[in-house]
Amino acid sequence: MNIAIGSDHAGFDLKTILVNYLQNNSTYICQDFGTYSPESVDYPDFAHLVADAVATGQYDKGILLCGSANGVAITANKHATIRAALCWQEEIATLARQHNDANILCIPARFVTTETAFKMVDIFLNTPFEGGRHAQRVAKISCYTK
């Protein structure tokens, strides 16, 4: 599975840990889209890169981090085929995949432990979409005009 990952400065440290974690697992090919230092940057620059990579099918799923994860989630969700989910607990990550078919996990780096981040990543990358009644709901997410 190909994973795109990115963060702003607030998510840099945890992103670096997650990149190493994913690269040490032979199941994943992980591409780091930046930022590459803890110096202040604008989160949309990296959220758009990851969202584009997932939206175009180059990567199967994405992971984005910033301080609260709100900024990266809002930005990524501007892309029509992206369903970016802000997750702070394992159960939220599970439901994001099972019920919403989320394709980008957004982690609030200032509010989760490394252990929780590892667990959420594992859950997010390995939990299938349930489909069924959820499929019709997910189909209604993209904007449309009447």
Q: Please, which residues bridge with residue 106 across strands?
A: 64, 86
| pLDDT of 143 above 80 | no
Residue 146 banded pLDDT, cuts 50, 70, 90: low
Statement: residue 144 has pLDDT above 90:
no
pLDDT, tens digit, for every residue of 33-88?
Answer: 999 999 999 999 999 999 999 999 999 999 999 999 999 999 999 998 999 999 99
Cα dihedral angle (98, 27, 7, 141), rounded to 10 degrees?
-30
Options 30, 66, 87, 106, the catalytic residue: 66
Is position 99 annotated as part of the catalytic site?
A: yes
How much is the pTM?
0.95
Confidence of residue 140 (pLDDT cuts 50, 70, 90): confident
Rounded Cα distance between 93 and 69, Å, is 13
Helices and strands of the chain, counted as H and E runs: 6, 5
pLDDT class of 125 with cuts at 50, 70, 90? very high
Q: Is 66 a catalytic residue?
A: yes
Q: Which CATH number fits domain 2-139: 3.40.50.150, 3.20.20.70, 3.40.1400.10, 1.10.8.50?
A: 3.40.1400.10
Q: Where are the domains of the chain?
A: 2-139
Which of 122, 106, 134 has its CA nearest to residue 22? 122
